[in-house]
Chain A
C-alpha cells in the first residue's frame, strides 16, 4: 500500500512535470517571435510635427515583414463581427506612409520585408500632429452608413459620423507595428505591438521646457531654415534648464529675407553662409561669428534597389548610394536640365554616358527614370548661399559646361547667380529648376516625385540643390563631387572639416570656398555658417540700451560656439575646426562693443534708403517673392535687375515696397502744406481778388462804352479825384517831400 501510494504520487508528479513541459513547449512555439525595436531619436516623447522617426525592427525570423500604422493609444473596440486586434488595427489605424518610397503620401502595401542582408526591417515615420482620419471602417455601427448587424439585418444609418482621432501632446497616439511571420507549413503568425507611444508637439521653434519669449528682452533672430534646429538647440541650452523664457524669438525664412531684416535693423541676430554677399544694404556695422560647417550639395531623391528579402526577391528603398557627379555633369544638369534626360543624345543621363557608367545604380535604372522629367531638379527660390557658391565653383571649374542653351542657339555663359530662379531665366520658356518658396514646399515637391512620377516599385531618381543640413534632415542623399585633386568626395563631417582648411578670405570678415589643392579628402563646396551680430549695442525705440536682449544675444552666440552648442548642432552640420573656433571666440568680444550713441545714429540712418548707388548687392531682390512652384520665366529672375517701363533694363535690382519705405513717403506727404492762395503775405489773396474785380468790371465797362453811352458824371468825377490824389502823391514822392495825409502843413 505504501509502495503503491508512493508510486502513484510519483506518476502524478511526473505527469504534472511532463504536462508543464509540454505546455511550456506549446506556448513557446506559439509565442510572438522575439524582436527588438529601436528608434531614432530614442526618446519619442519629444518628437515634433515634421520630424522623421526612423524605426528599425531586428531579431525577426526570415520571411518576416512589418506594417506600421498610427493608431489611437487605446484601440477602439466596437466592431460588430470580427473583434480581433488585427481587425481593429485594420479599421481604426492609418498606415504610416513612406516606408518604402520615403513619400509621405504613399502608403505601404503588403508590409516592409526584412532585409536579407541586414536582417532588419527599417521604416521611416514622418511625424504628423493633429487630427488623423482612419481608413475604411466597415463594421462599426457608429461610423458606417450601412452595416449588417449580428442578426443579419441590414441597417441604414443616415449621416454617419467620420472616425478620426487627434495626435498631440494632450492626446498621445501609438505607432502600432503588425509583425507578420510567414511559415511554409502553417498560417502566418501575426503579432501586434503598440508600445511606441508618441505625443507630437507643435513645431513652434520654441524649445521644450522653455516659456514664451518676453518682448523686448528676447533676441529677435532671423535665420535660414537650415539653421532652425541648431538655433533651437542653442536656445534650449539657455532656457530649458531653468524653464526660463526663450532667449531668442526666431523667424526662419529665406536667406535673402533674413539678411534684409538684419540690414534694416529689424532683427538683432541673423545667420548666413556668405557674409555680405547677399546683403542689399551693408551700412549696419556687424560682426561675423562662425558657428558651424555646412556644404552646398546636390542630393538625389527617389528609389533604388534596397536589397532582397529572405526569399531573394528584390525590393526598393530610398536612394542611399552617393552618386558620383563630375563638375561638368553637374553644370550640364543644372544649366540645361531639359536636354539632359536619359533619351537625349549626349545627355548626362543617357546610356553609356560618363555619369551613368560611373554610377551602377543609375545604370540599373531605366533611362527615362534617371532624371524624372519635369520635376527632376528642385531648389529653394530666393537669394541663398547655395547658388552663390555653386555658380562660383562651376564658373571657374566647369566653364565650358556652365552655359545656357535652350535650343539650337549658341550657348550663353551662366556666370554667378544668387538665386536658383536665375537659372530659369536663361532657358526661355523652359524651366531648369523647379523652385519652392520654403523647405516644406520643397519637400512636398520631392514627395510628389516619388508618388506620382516614379512608377511603383521601380528605381528612379530626381535631384535637389540644397545644403547638407537640409539633405540630412530630410533623408536625401548628397552626391559626391570631385575636389581639386580629382577625388570624388561625399559631404561628411570629415570631408567638411578637411574642406574648411581650404576656405579663403571673402573680404568681409568671412570665408568662402577655395581650391582644395591636393587634399584628397576635402569636400569642394564646404562653407561656414556665420552668426551675424551687430557691433553696436541693441537699443530700443527711444534709444535706450536693451540690456537684457544684449546679454541674451551674447549668451546665444557664446553658447553656439561653445562646446555645448557645437555638440548640439542640427543634423548634417559639422562642428567648427580649431582655427575657426578660435576666430569665433575672438569675435565674441566685438558683439555690442560700440557705443550707444553710435547705435542710435545707426538706427536713424537705417530708416532712410541706402544713399550709395552701389549699396545694392547681387541678392537685392530679397523682397521680391517669387511664386511657389517656380515655373518662372525670364521675369522671375529679378536678381538680374528689372526692366523699366520704357523697356530699358537697368543695373540695379528693384525693391518691393515695405512698411518702412511707405511710412517715409507718408511722412513726406504729411509734411507738405499747400495754402489756399499762392504767394505769401497779403498779396496772396489780394491778387486773385483784384483779378476777379477786374474781370467783373472790365467786360461790362467795355460793353457800356461800346454802347456809346457817356461816362456817368459821378464816375468821371471819381476818376478825376482819384487821378488827382495819385498825381499829388506822385509829385511828393518824386520831389522827396512825401508827407502822409494829416501830417501837417
Chain B
C-alpha cells in the first residue's frame, strides 16, 4: 500500500490536518530487459546454422519464387524480338528478291522460334543454346541439331522445376498431340509420336534421324542435381520442312543437363561479397542502431544473395 497526501502544505504532527487517503492499484511487475546473447560454442553453432538456413531459403526463393517472374520478363523481351524477326522475314518474302537464306547460325541466347503446346495451353519462346543461363530465360534449341521446322532432328531442352518450369508438364504429352513452331521461315506443325522417361542418349536424341522430327528433353526430377534420367518427347514434322539454315556446332557440355562452370567466378565473388556484408552487418547491429544498420546493409545483402543464388543455379544442370 502507498499513501499519498493532498494539501497546500505539509503539516507537522502537532497541527490538525485534513488528510485524504486514497488506495492506489498495485503496480505491474516491470518487463524484463532483453538480454544480449552470450558468445560461446552454442552461439557460434546457432549463427552458422542460421546463416546456412538463410542461404538455403534465399537460394530457393530466388529460383522458385522470383525465377518465374525473371523468366517471364526474359520471355516477353524475346517475344518482342522474335516478332520483329518474323516481321522482317515477311517483308523479305514480299520483296522483289524474295526471302534471303540466313548465312550464319543464330547467336547464342537470341530467340529462334515461338513454340505452342495447344494441349498444355503453353507458349514459349525458344532461344538458341542450352547453357543454364539460356534455359533460365526459356527452352533452348540444342546446338548441332537441325533448325526448327527444318529437315532432320531439331532438339529443344527446357527446365523441369526452376525458372518457371516451362517443361514441367512435358510428360503429359501424348501421341497425336500437336506442337506448333513459328520461325522466320513459317509455321511448322509437329505431332507427338512418343513420350519416354529414360537416360538421355545424346547419339539417339540429338543425332541424325531418318525423318524430320522435334525432340524435347527435360529432367524427370525436381532435385536440382538430377542429370541422368530425362523425359524425352519425340514429334514428327507434318508436311515439308523449310530450307535448312546454318546451325551452331555442339560442344559436349551443350546437352541441356550440364552446368556452366564459368559461373564459379561469379559465385565466389557474390558469395564473398555477401559474407563480407553479412559480417559487417553483424558487427554494425551489435554496435549501432538497428534501423540505420538495416537501411545501410539490407539492399547490399539482397543483391548479393540474389546474385549468389543465380550463380549457384548456373552450376547446376540446365534442365533442372
Contact = CB atoms under 8 A, between A and B. Distances in A.
Contacts of A668: 114, 116, 180, 182, 187
A283 to B, nearest CB: 11
Contacts of B180: 668
Contact of A703 (B76, B241, B282): B282
A152 interface: no
Contacts of A650: 151-152, 209-212, 241
B150 A645 contact: yes
B129 interface: no
A706 B237 CA distance: 60
A677 B285 contact: no
A674 interface: yes
B87 interface: yes
A43 to B, nearest CB: 36
Interface string B79-103: 1001100110110011000110000
B237 to A, nearest CB: 8
Contacts of A704: 281-282, 285, 290, 293
A634 to B, nearest CB: 14
A666 interface: yes
Contacts of A673: 123
A650 to B, nearest CB: 5
Contacts of B278: 699, 702-703, 706
Residue in B76, B125, B285 whose Cβ sees the most chain A Cβ within 10 Å: B285
Nearest to B44: A706
B290 A712 contact: yes
A657 B89 contact: yes
B301 interface: yes
Given A695-B61, A702-B51, A611 B241 contact: no
A661 B186 CA distance: 4
Given A676-B73, A691-B65, A710-B35, A609 B238 contact: yes
Contacts of A696: 298, 302
Nearest to B145: A646
Interface in A253-278: none
A695 B302 contact: yes
A702 B72 CA distance: 31
A695 B305 contact: yes
Interface in B284-307: 284-286, 290, 293-294, 297-298, 301-302, 305-306
Given A657-B89, A678-B71, A692 B66 contact: yes
A118 interface: no
A679 B68 contact: yes
A571 to B, nearest CB: 31
B67 to A, nearest CB: 9
B238 A613 contact: yes
B144 interface: yes
Residue in A654, A673, A716 whose Cβ sees the most chain B Cβ within 10 Å: A654
Nearest to A673: B123
A651 B243 CA distance: 13
A708 interface: yes
B247 interface: yes
A669 B61 contact: no
B76 A674 contact: yes
Given A703-B301, A711-B34, A674 B79 contact: yes
A703 B36 CA distance: 14
A611 B239 contact: yes
A682 interface: no
Nearest to A649: B151
A609 B186 CA distance: 10
A644 B151 contact: yes
A610 B239 contact: yes
A371 B170 CA distance: 63
Contacts of B11: none
Given A657-B99, A657-B242, A678 B90 contact: no
Contacts of A665: 86, 89, 114, 182-187
B116 to A, nearest CB: 6
B266 interface: no
A624 B212 contact: no
B187 A659 contact: no
Contacts of B272: none
B286 A709 contact: yes
A712 B34 contact: yes
A615 interface: yes
A644 to B, nearest CB: 2
A692 B67 CA distance: 11
A690 B65 contact: yes
A613 B240 CA distance: 7
Contacts of A613: 236-239
Contacts of A697: 298
Contacts of B50: 702, 705-706
A669 B82 contact: yes
B297 A669 contact: no
B5 interface: no
B123 A672 contact: yes
A644 B285 contact: no
B136 to A, nearest CB: 14
A679 B71 CA distance: 12
B264 interface: no
A698 interface: yes
B298 A700 contact: yes
Which 10 A/B pairs are nearest by Cβ-Cβ distance? A644-B152, A661-B186, A710-B34, A691-B65, A648-B208, A707-B285, A708-B37, A665-B182, A678-B68, A703-B281
Given A645-B246, A657-B242, A670-B83, 19 more contacts: A616-B239, A644-B146, A650-B152, A650-B211, A657-B243, A662-B99, A672-B79, A672-B114, A676-B76, A678-B68, A679-B68, A687-B68, A691-B62, A692-B66, A698-B58, A699-B305, A700-B281, A704-B281, A707-B283
Interface of B: 31, 34-39, 43, 47, 50-51, 54, 57-58, 61-62, 65-66, 68-69, 71-73, 75-76, 79, 82-83, 86-87, 89-90, 93-94, 98-99, 114, 116, 123, 125, 144-147, 150-153, 164, 180, 182-189, 206-212, 236-247, 274, 278, 281-286, 290, 293-294, 297-298, 301-302, 305-306
22 contacts: A611-B189, A612-B238, A615-B239, A615-B240, A645-B145, A645-B146, A646-B146, A648-B209, A651-B210, A651-B211, A655-B240, A661-B186, A662-B186, A664-B182, A665-B183, A672-B114, A674-B123, A695-B58, A706-B282, A708-B286, A709-B37, A709-B290
